[in-house]
Structure 1
Amino acid sequence: MSSGRVYTQMGLLGESLTQVLIPASAIIGIGFALLQWFLVSKVKVSTDSELNNGYKDRLIEDDLEEEEEGVESPDVVAAKCAEIQNAISVGATSFLYTEYRYLSIFMGAFGLLIFLFLGSVNGFSTKSEPCTYNTGSMCKPALANAFFSTVAFLLGALTSVLSGFLGMKIATYANARTTLEAKKGVGKAFITAFRSGTVMGFLLAASGLLVLFLSIHLFKLYYGDDWEGLYESITGYGLGGSSMALFGRVGGGIYTKAADVGADLVGKVERNIPEDDPRNPAVIADNVGDNVGDIAGMGSDLFGSYAESSCAALFVASISSFGISHDYTAMSYPLIISSMGIVVCLITTLFATDMFEIKNVTEIEPSLKRQLLISTVLMTAGIAMVTFFALPSEFTLFDFGTAKDVKNWHLFFCVSIGLWAGLVIGYTTEYYTSNAYSPVQDVADSCRTGAATNVIFGLALGYKSVIIPIFAIALAIYVSFSLAAMYGIAVAALGMLSTIATGLAIDAYGPISDNAGGIAEMAGMSHKIRERTDALDAAGNTTAAIGKASLPLVLQLGLLPLYRLPCLVPLAGIKAVDVLTPKVFIGLIVGAMLPYWFSAMTMKSVGSAALKMVEEVRRQFNTIPGLMEGTVKPDYATCVKISTDASLKEMIPPGALVMLTPLIAGTLFGVETLAGLLAGSLVSGVQVAISASNTGGAWDNAKKYIEAGASEHAKSLGPKGSDCHKAAVIGDTIGDPLKDTSGPSLNILIKLMAVESLVFAPFFAAHGGLLFKIL
């Protein structure tokens, strides 16, 4: 291949400047997160143990509104808020410490497995043969690849754990502060909650980028110019991130939904008391669950998505003309996109916290949606800039032996279509899950005739909501592949993830607001304060659903390269995968079944834990005198223990299913069957994940639509405690494990199996298909 075909010119951004810009943007992101934390911490903290009943921190708000009749003094309310906040923080921290102790054993065992498997075979390339994809580089020994893949796995796992834990600490630090700020007005509470979410968003995005950048430079000390070997080993980083995310999502999801279901079924349906009434024994466990599931689990999940998609794009770039010519800047294009995303998200955040003021509850959801739109528009301009400066005007991509000439503006369109397709999917999701539109209002209206029709309408809505996202994904895949082959697909996913800091801020904002409402209820604050926090929470539900629905686009786009890599390794002697081949077809149908098997396991786990929770809550209401009258405190600790024990026990079988399936399929049946398995799980898993998340979100907001009674139609459905409202609560209860456990966890199932297959691809290529060989 002539050098003229490889390049017409080099990119304008030099290697030295690239090596400065990427870590600099990460450091700026971390600095901005710390600044936001400082602004949140300006809600004063003092240590008055007498007023605070032994707790270390007491939150005091200087400018509280005048007390309403029947509401306690500001000092007493603040002390109660601090007490409740402390209980939530202690419960969440205790659970995560216990969970991480279990996961540390898993990390060590699975890291050893990676080392032993990969240490027994050569990587994609060997010294006795040309490196894969004809890059011509000399490759490293098997033990070296095994060692560095294991190190990358452990780094990814630790970063994922840190992302989840820091997110939880930030959320529990901010929830009571948001409650107290709500006494000043909804605008003040919104800024506190959003700034707190921003701390998590920027810390995760910036630290993930920085650790990945430093890992690449550390590995380069050994690999030198062998970019293919380097990025082959760095894929372990994505595997580590998603492994921790799987257990975090499943364990945290079981925890929070067991408590939520128990609290709702007994408290709201049977006892007709408010959602976060302090008389409910499961209320503390419910609020703890918001932080360990919707914050810690979600943070690990999105970090895993970022790590995997980045690793996929970097690996494909290493086998292009960039790798041949050792163009560091062009190969770092995925990291440069993420760097630009941090800067764009920083500017976008200012629109929510400094440039526009929230004056009433109707402005909350538009403000959050405006964040998504502004970040998308600004990022499009940013992508154009970095594409022009980082990439040569023309270069060559190698798509598994086939050379494709590509221009830099092709990649601009690939990244942009992923970015905008994500926004389209997000707004489609909003239409199907927001109670401002007819789909959710129809679900609410169906509650007139009971829970059965509510369930029917909700399921139909979820299935229908899949249509537009799938067409958007299909279009993005077709255009990206046509312009830049598999690399185009990989960077399209990164386009979606480029604004991850803003997306995470919005996602974390929701549980913080939810906790703020719970604290307001438990502290006995006025109904007006609870209305403000409920408005914050309702807006967060819709925008969180937008993020959950957009994630499958990332999976489809960013992980498609991973599905081809294990199957077309030259060492396996496979040139193509034929669906009509029995080996492939059996993998296809088994893979399509896996999301249903996994969903069944996670939903049954929630059900089993919720069953114990319901029995305990009923027992306390029936046997503790004065509990319903509010003269005696319930036994919160027992309910917390039920959720903790159940989640730690029940997260193991689903996790084992996901982690072991690719190993068994690849070792016993070979890479062709594994290819079918991955394709089947992708096709069915995306549909199930989107419909589950949207069904659960619609049921949740249908309940809130009835409770708010903000329109004549909503008022006609009946007040809280009516038969219609109880039917809506039952639908919401059914939807809880769908939208917060099974749906999000399915995203991890798909990407984790893909990246695990890539990491173990050399072993499968050399020793896979043992059963067929024996037969």
Structure 2
Amino acid sequence: MSRHILAEGLTLSSSDQTIVGVVAVVALIALAIGFWLRKEVLAAGQGTERMQDIGRAVQEGASAYLNRQFKTLGVFVVIVFLLLFALPADTMSERVGRSIFFVVGAVFSATIGYLGMSLATRANIRVASAAREESGGREKAMRVAFRTGGAVGMFTVGLGLFGAALVVLVYAGGAPKVLEGFGFGAALLAMFMRVGGGIFTKAADVGGDLVGKVEAGIPEDDPRNAATIADNVGDNVGDCAGMAADLFESYAVMLVAALILGSAAFGLQGLLFPLIVPAIGVITAVLGVYITRAKPGEGGLKAINRSFYISAVFSAVLCIAAAYLYLPGSFGELGNPTDAEVVTQAGSLDPRLFASVAVLIGIVLAGIILWLTGYFTGTEHKPVKDVGDSALTGAATVVLAGIAIGFESAVYTALVISAAVFGAFVLGGVSVTVALFAVALAGTGLLTTVGVIVAMDTFGPVADNAQGIAEMSGDVTGPGVEVLTELDAVGNTTKAITKGIAIATAVLAATALFGSYRDAITNAIKAAGQAAGELPRSFGFEVFTPSTLVGVIIGASVVFMFSGLAINAVSRAAGAIVFEVRKQFREEPGIMAGTVRPDYGRVVDICTKDSLRELATPGLLAIFAPIAVGFGLGVGPLAGYLAGAIACGTLMAIFLANSGGAWDNGKKLIEDGVHGGKGTDAHAATVIGDTVGDPFKDTAGPAINPLIKVMNLVSVLIAPAVVTLSIGSSASTPVRLAIAAVAVIIIVAAVVVSKRRSTSIADSPAEASVS
């Protein structure tokens, strides 16, 4: 895959420019539909004055947090912009474009997160209000919640597709290099937003549950608990803003991989076809959002799943039609594939059939993961019922049952993802480039469902917030309470499903990006005029090479360290919340009597400060670990590092997400009346399981998805510099090792500072107990 040849050889004809222009227009139409859906959601009733007061408090807290977070992350964006500009590129135009579109990707990711948060914090009171209606309240509440997610989904696909189309339109054959910057900006911001938002939401949730439900024996969203507003704020900055940005970067990075590999494998048509497929996804998303409605007596999850499957089938048909209309019937009729390996090895490949099957693999993968994750986290299936039954023997067995479900489900999901990757790879025959393009096309096939996936994900926190506002205000009674409880349980499952699909996109994108990594190394070696037989041993990619195996182990270890840092951060922040809520209960007896309003703002402020302070260490680890391995050990061990991170990250992310989802819905089962319902020992046991699962499913687990892609893109970007310093003069060795040493020092310093932080904010031992 010769990117320097791409930059010089591929130009867009007037008809090609028309195709890309149409894709850009489709992207703009997606944005317009998103704003139309937003307008429809905001037209719904806002409920009582008390509900609106609570809603405003949540809106203000979420906006204040994101504004402070963006100011903090602005420093990172500026630093990385300058570093990217310093890295070599084939032309100055590509270097400038890569840096500029890094900022564009970061801004788009932040915009998606902010739009998602802004709408979700306004939709929650409208869902709660709709549930109060005596006739059709359930159907209306579900429609408002899902169309809120639909609006965010349309923003996601619109901005992602528009950004990629703009790069191709401006840079043509040089687009792949520039797109690396676009994808990196999206992934980096998403990772920080996912980690920071996850720490915020779970600190408030865990701390509030431990003091409120376990110690004080009051309901989950009781207004006497000072952590309730922060918990609702956290749902929006973590599950809405963070996850929306996460899915946007999945969209962007998958397109980056597909366009890089497509241009090398199929020439200009390979550069454009991966844009056509997600453009079809816009139609899919609109269909999926508008046909989602629960029939009388039908479960909400069944209605959502039905819409997903219908839209996926529709997408598959359109993608096959596009392949047969746009691509030629034989490889020889393709315009100008730029990889010599492809030209000699492709043989009798039929591009139309190849592309159709590859895209179908991705769509089918999304459907299987939806079913598989739903089985392990849905309240109507055996695994979650087993968690509920385990509550009869205490919290320990609840925790063990959830861990077992996470381990088992991770195996099945990982095998399904592996089968999809291998199946796509086999399509390419003997050509590695074409095989990797098939994997990337499978990813774009999965992307056609992203609009519906984002809708499913946002549905969860909106329903959760609606239930919280209903309980805090006391203005929703009777059937309305049951409606919101059902939607909250459905939302727990849809959130778990979207996390599973997001990690699948991470694996597909990372596998495809291996091709880009290989390309970067090959080009750098050629530029240095070095013969393959003269390369250092650190260039060996064989897994049985000890240096490569060391890289695999380090890559897997980084996933464990990253997860541990994220969960520890939640533990420390939640400890601070516990002390604060206890202090308020102790110093102001009127709070428990219901005559004095708790200081909600104090808890929001603690969560904000702690989450912004804690997100730096995981972020620095993700950026500097591949730099340390690459410059310190070489490109071969760095390839092993990526393999270890992808393999371990896949299993870890699924394990954490599904364990947490099973614990959460196990608690919902008990609260719905199973084994005695609320207030029983069984309920207390599942609350403990849920608090353990909170940082699993909403902080560490989903953050691994952008982590994998950030590390892949960092590796792709630094590969040429690593090669240049590795095979240059002996004088370059100290420079290479010095860079690695600085990266290691930064990681160690960040971890040490993080570990020294205390959980307690108490002034005295007496502060840590309730009088």
Question: Is 1:578 aligned to 2:542, yes or no?
Answer: yes
- In the alignment, structure 1 residue 346 sits paired with structure 2 residue 283: no
**Secondary structure of the corresponding residue to residue 590 of structure 2:** coil
Q: 1:200 aligns with which of 135, 152, 175?
A: 152
- Per the alignment, residue 424 of structure 2 pairs with 480
Aligned to 2:78, what secondary structure does the other structure show?
A: helix
Residues 604-642 of structure 1: CA deviation (Å, up to 9, x unaligned):
000000001011111111221211121111110111111
CA displacement, residues 343-364 of structure 1 (integer Å, 9 cap, x when unaligned)? 1221222211xxx45434x421
- What is the rounded CA distance, in whole Å, between the counterparts of 1:499 and 1:764 in structure 2? 37
Q: Residues 359-404 of structure 1: CA distance to partner in whole angstroms, max 9, x if unpaired?
A: 34x4211111112211211111011111112212222767783532
Q: Find the counterpart in structure 2 of residue 172 from structure 1.
A: 121
| Counterparts of 2:296 and 2:587, CA distance in 1 | 46
2:2 is equivalent to residue 38 of structure 1: no
The match for 1:112 is: 82
Instruction: Check if 1:533 corresponds to 2:491.
Output: no
Q: Which residue of 1 aligns with 2:264?
A: 319
Note if contact 2:656-2:697 (Cα within 8 Å) is conserved in structure 1.
yes
The secondary structure found in structure 1 opposite 2:475 is: coil
Question: What's 1:26 paired with?
Answer: 27
CA 768–678 in structure 1, closer or farther in 2 if over 3 Å, else same? farther
Contact 1:369/1:543 (CA < 8 Å) preserved in 2?
no
2:503 aligned partner: 552
Task: Name the structure 2 match of 1:746.
Answer: 704
SS at match of 1:280: coil
Measured in 1, the distance between the counterparts of 2:146 and 2:684 equals: 32
Name the CA distance, whole Å, in 2 between partners of 1:557 and 1:720: 43
CA distance in 1, matches of 2:702, 2:595: 40
Answering whether residue 369 of structure 2 is matched by residue 432 of structure 1, we say no
Structure 1 residue 31 displacement after superposition: 2.1
Call closer, same or farther: CA 1:277–1:411 in 2, change over 3 Å: same
Pick one of 663, 682, 699 that aligns with 1:699: 663
- How many matched pairs? 691
User: Could you report, residue by residue, the CA deviation over 1:405-455 in whole angstroms, capped at 9, with x for unpaired residues?
Assistant: 431211111110111012112211111101101111111101111101111
Q: Does 1:257 align with 2:192?
A: no
Moved more, 285-294 or 752-761: 752-761
Residue pair 2:323, 2:355 contacting (<8 A) in 1 also: yes
Which one has a larger percent helix, Structure 1 or Structure 2? Answer: 2
1:726-763 Cα offsets, whole Å, 9 max, x none, are 00000000000000001001111111101221223222
- 2:255 is paired with a residue whose SS is helix
1:54 aligned residue? none
Q: Is the 8 A contact 2:153 2:285 kept in 1?
A: no
Say whether the 8 Å CA contact 2:659–2:696 is kept in structure 1. yes
The one-letter amino acid of 2:372's match is T
TM-aligned CA deviation for residue 33 of structure 1: 1.5
Query: Is contact 1:565-1:758 (8 Å) kept?
Result: yes
Q: 1:522 to 1:744 in 2, by over 3 A?
A: same
Q: For 2:459, which of 499, 504, 509 is the aligned residue?
A: 509
Any residues of structure 2 matched to 1:192-591 within 5 Å, and which? 192-220=144-172, 227=173, 229-322=174-267, 327=268, 329-352=269-292, 356-360=293-297, 362-395=298-331, 401=341, 403-405=345-347, 406-407=349-350, 408-484=352-428, 485-528=435-478, 529-567=480-518, 569-570=521-522, 571-572=524-525, 573=532, 577-591=541-555
How far did residue 13 of structure 1 move? Answer: 12
Q: Is the 8 A contact 2:193 2:241 kept in 1?
A: yes
Instruction: Provide closer, same or farther for how the CA distance between residues 102 and 12 of structure 1 changes in structure 2, counting only shifts above 3 A.
Output: closer
* 1:72-83 alignment, distance < 5 Å: 78-83=48-53
Work out whether residues 666 and 768 of structure 1, in 8 Å CA contact, stay in contact via their aligned partners in 2: no
CA contact (8 A) 2:289 2:455 kept: no
Amino acid aligned to 1:489: V
Check if 1:757 corresponds to 2:757: no
**Secondary structure, counterpart of 2:346 in structure 1:** strand
Q: Could you tell me which runs of 5 or more consecutive residues in structure 2 were left unpaired when the two chains were aligned.
A: 1-11, 429-434, 526-531, 728-732, 739-771
2:284, 2:311 within 8 Å by CA — same for their partners in 1?
yes
Report if the CA contact (8 A) 2:261-2:515 is conserved.
no
Q: Distance in 1 between matches of 2:14 and 2:355?
A: 16
Matches within 5 A, 1:525-674: 525-528=475-478, 529-567=480-518, 569-570=521-522, 571-572=524-525, 573=532, 577-674=541-638
Moved over 6 A (4+): 396-400, 771-775
CA RMSD of aligned residues (A): 2.1
Distance change >3 Å, CA 357–CA 665, structure 1 → 2: closer
State the alpha-carbon separation in 2 of the partners of residues 415 and 686 from structure 1: 21
Structure 1 equivalent of residue 753 of structure 2? none
Structure-1 residue corresponding to 2:4: none
| Residue 175 to residue 479, structure 1, CA distance change in 2 (3 Å) | same
User: Could you say if the C-alpha distance between residues 719 and 768 of structure 1 is closer, same or farther in structure 2, counting changes exceeding 3 Å?
Assistant: same
Q: What residue number does 1:48 align with?
A: none
2: CA distance between counterparts of 1:162 and 1:394? 42
Cα distance in 1 for residues equivalent to 2:340 and 2:399:
47
Matched, 1:729 2:687: yes
The answer for unaligned runs of 5 or more in structure 1 is: 1-10, 45-58, 61-77, 124-139, 221-226
1:592 deviation in Å? 1.2
Distance in 2, Cα, partners of 1:498 & 1:767: 41
Name the CA shift for 1:650/1:774 in 2 (closer, same or farther; >3 Å): closer
Hey, what's the Cα distance between the residues in 1 that align with 2:394 and 2:264? 59
Partner-residue secondary structure (3-state), 2:220: coil
Looking at structure 1, the residues matched to 78 and 100 of structure 2 have their Cα atoms a distance apart, in angstroms, of 11
Distance of 2:474 and 2:426 partners within structure 1: 60
Instruction: Give the Å deviation of 1:14.
Output: 4.8
Q: Given that residues 462 and 695 in structure 1 are in contact (C-alpha distance below 8 angstroms), is that contact kept between their aligned partners in structure 2?
A: yes
For 1:261 and 1:687, how far apart are their aligned partners in 2? 24
* AA aligned opposite 1:347: L
Q: CA deviation at 1:147?
A: 1.5
> Which residue number in structure 2 is paired with residue 684 of structure 1?
648
Deviation at 1:170, TM superposition (A): 0.8
Give the direction of change, closer, same or farther, for the CA distance of 1:583–1:444 in structure 2 (3 Å limit): same
CA displacement, residues 61-95 of structure 1 (integer Å, 9 cap, x when unaligned): xxxxxxxxxxxxxxxxx111111111100100000
Contact 2:436 2:512 in 1 (8 A): yes
Q: CA deviation at 1:673?
A: 1.4
Letter aligned with residue 560 of structure 1? T
Q: 1:296 to 1:742 in 2, by over 3 A?
A: same
Following the alignment from structure 2 to structure 1, what is the Cα–Cα distance between the partners of residues 61 and 736? 52
Q: Tell me the amino acid that sits aligned with residue 505 of structure 2.
A: V
